[in-house]
Amino acid sequence: MLDGMDRRPVGMFDSGVGGLSVLREFRRLAPNERTVYFADTAWFPYGPRDPGEVRKRAFAISHRLVDAGVKLIVVACNTASAAAIADLRQLFDLPFVGMVPAVKPAAHASRRGRVAILATPGTFDGDLYSRVVDEFGKGTAIDRVVGHDLAELVEKGEVDTPIVREAVRSALGPTIANGSDVVVLGCTHYEFLAEAIKGEFPGVAVLGTGEPVAKRASDILSELDLVAPSDAEGSLDLIISGNRQAFLEILPKLGFLPREQAAEAQS
Ligand code: DGL
């Protein structure tokens, strides 16, 4: 990343802890950037909600992040991206980066020509999903798998427990028995389940979008000359719409350092 001068933070949001999977990659790629992460835990889960309701939350949160002075917003949630990304780009005068299920790389990676997309109902219902499948999914059989209760488990900090293993087996077992050799993680919460899925189904490729989306955000900062100076110290501010303490207690279970939690608890 080039050296820059823009010390304003980058905003990110999700219904809960899921978007931290994008944040984790972004902080690795852009360690000098300040970040403000909004976890909308009071409205979790987004997946089964009406898209209009998710859109309203996305607008309200984006306003809040703009008030916090952010220079770019990452919609670190597939469901909110499906419901709102086009409208957010129209309404706000700053760049947005959204999540798109990794259908294209999955279609390339599959040897058998069959892939499973694991996502929330809201993501499958949106136009964004249909467009990506129309554009990149031709010639590939695609099984849509709704991850009932999986985001809820991650939100409780369960990522590789017997309950998670059982939930993953029951969600993905049929499509894998049916020949799917690639699983696309179409929800940012599910990125935390990658190890459990790989452990349960060795030989199946598991593709997420946390890293490419973080890379896209960092590239846009460079392209638009919004990069922080190399002497700037990266930081993380959390805005939690629900129970803050409960959220902070989950962070270590997801691999976030106690140092960040402690710094945050004082702010
Ligand atoms: N993390 C969100 C996503 O990427 C959804 C989880 C939820 O249902 O709130 O779709």
Quick: pLDDT tens for 85-123. Answer: 999 999 999 999 999 999 999 999 999 999 999 999 999
104 sits in which H/E element: helix 103-109
Instruction: Write down the pLDDT at residue 266.
Output: 47
Q: Is 14 in the pocket of ligand 1 (CB under 6 A)?
A: yes
Which of 3-7, 17-21, 73-77 has the least mean pLDDT? 3-7
CATH 3.40.50.1860 domain locations along the chain: 10-99+211-264, 103-208
pLDDT at residue 227 is higher than 50: yes
CA–CA gap between residue 205 and residue 114 (Å, rounded)? 12
- Average pLDDT on 133-144 reads 92
Instruction: Write down the pLDDT at residue 3.
Output: 75
pLDDT at residue 267 is higher than 50: no
Are 61 and 13 spatial neighbours (Cβ–Cβ below 8 Å)? Answer: yes
Q: Is 81 in the pocket of ligand 1 (CB under 6 A)?
A: no
| 81 Cα: distance to centroid of ligand 1 (angstroms) | 10
| 5 Cα: distance to centroid of ligand 1 (angstroms) | 33
Q: Using CA positions, which residue lies closest to atom 2 of ligand 1?
A: 77
Q: Is 214 in the pocket of ligand 1 (CB under 6 A)?
A: no
> Percentage of the chain with pLDDT > 70?
95
CATH architecture, domain defined by 10-99+211-264: 3-Layer(aba) Sandwich (3.40)
Judge whether 187 counts as a catalytic residue: yes
DSSP class of 189: G
> Percentage of the chain with pLDDT > 90?
88
Instruction: Write down the pLDDT at residue 127.
Output: 86
pLDDT digits over 234-265, tens only? 999 999 999 999 999 999 999 886 555 545 54
pLDDT digits over 20-34, tens only? 999 999 999 999 999
* Domain 103-208 coded CATH 3.40.50.1860: yes
* Ligand 1 atom nearest residue 46's Cα: 9
Q: The tokens of 246 are what?
A: 């409960």
| 139 Cα: distance to centroid of ligand 1 (angstroms) | 28
- Select from 12, 14, 154 the residue to mutate for testing ligand 1; criterion: most ligand atoms less than 8 Å from CB: 14
Which of 129-143, 152-166, 169-183, 251-265 has the least mean pLDDT? 251-265
Catalytic residue among 36, 54, 61, 77: 77
Q: Is 191 in the pocket of ligand 1 (CB under 6 A)?
A: no
Residues 6+ apart with CB under 8 A from 183: 115, 116, 118, 172, 176, 197, 201, 204, 205, 206, 207
Q: Which amino acid is at 180?
A: S
Q: For 117, phi and psi rounded to 5 degrees?
A: -105, 120
**Closest to 218 measured CA to CA, from 78, 72, 47:** 72
Instruction: Write down the pLDDT at residue 126.
Output: 82
Q: For 77, phi and psi rounded to 5 degrees?
A: -155, 125
Instruction: Write down the pLDDT at residue 240.
Output: 97
Mapped onto helix, strand or coil, the DSSP state of residue 102 is: coil
Which of 38-42, 132-136, 226-230 has the least mean pLDDT? 132-136
* Ligand 1 atom nearest residue 48's Cα: 8
Judge whether 179 counts as a catalytic residue: no
Task: Name the band, by pLDDT with cuts 50, 70 and 90, for residue 76.
Answer: very high
Q: Is 82 in the pocket of ligand 1 (CB under 6 A)?
A: no
Instruction: Write down the pLDDT at residue 257.
Output: 67
CA–CA gap between residue 131 and residue 176 (Å, rounded)? 24
Q: The tokens of 162 are what?
A: 């017997």
Are 45 and 19 spatial neighbours (Cβ–Cβ below 8 Å)? Answer: no
- Average pLDDT on 130-142 reads 91
Q: Is 188 in the pocket of ligand 1 (CB under 6 A)?
A: yes
Instruction: Write down the pLDDT at residue 97.
Output: 98
Instruction: Write down the pLDDT at residue 155.
Output: 97
* Ligand 1 atom nearest residue 122's Cα: 10
